Structure 1
Amino acid sequence: MYTQIYILRFPKDTSDKPFIYQLVKEYDIEFNILKADILLQREGVMIIELKGSSKNNVKAGLDFLKGLGVQTERLAARIRRDDSQCFQCGACTGICPVGALYIKRPEMEVIFDAEKCTGCSLCVPICPVRAMEVSLDKDWVLPEETVMK
């Protein structure tokens, strides 16, 4: 599965269109709306997690949105682990949907692979010592062109 988080900015003339329905039906994309500010006849903003069986599903869905005039940006959340806090309990490994957190055997060491991390932040509240943290700085919002190549 390919999972990424995006910021959608849509013009006021698309605020009443069922584009999320189309993403599910036509492009076989699962979604999780993380935050939304949508009012009829006004510009809207939505932070949404999109999950497709492949990168191509998500890219096709994003192309559909762009055709409607929706601006899309990948939200690249940065997840960090404070190694001085982490005591290697492994609680985070069971919740990570993409395998960015896993147990290295036979050492039984908890490994964090930042390259695999999608920034979903599920690991943050599950960590008993709060060794995992998320940063959503504006510097980490990437233009779509740098992501889907």
Structure 2
Amino acid sequence: MAGFSHLNQAGEANMVDVSAKQITTRSAIAQGYLYANDAVIQGISEARIAKGDVFAVARVAGIQGAKRCADLIPLCHPLALSKVDISFALEPEQNRIAVQCFCKLDGKTGVEMEALTGVNIALLTLFDMCKALDPAMRIEQVCVLNKQGGKTGDWHRDAV
């Protein structure tokens, strides 16, 4: 099964052994969008969402999600994250909210999965808090924007 690092010789799922890897500073940023109607965008911008401060709650949820990635994704290594940051940008002209998750650590494996988990949990929390105003909201374009560190070095996505 050459080429698949998460399979053993018998083709079974296997957690990769990273014990021989060097500890390096690693970081990743993932991004996604919540598309919503004007009522949601305006309600958030005017702090009028009935369930409260949606960005504060989604920020904490996203941080928790990134920290719990290994509990959710099979074969992910549990990581001691040194930094998780969730940020939001209202983009009313496109009826969307941009959400980014930045994760960083000094470790032996990358943090892309943690960043992706963090951004998805933040997006899902926004959806949950606003669904009464727009049940047709949608989450789209979730991706890793960049990653730094490790054996493969730095990687940046071309324009999204």
Shorter-chain TM-score: which interval? 0.3 to 0.5
TM-score, normalised via structure 1 length? 0.38
**More relative contact order, 1 or 2 (CA 8 Å, 6+ apart):** 2
Q: Which has the higher strand share?
A: 1
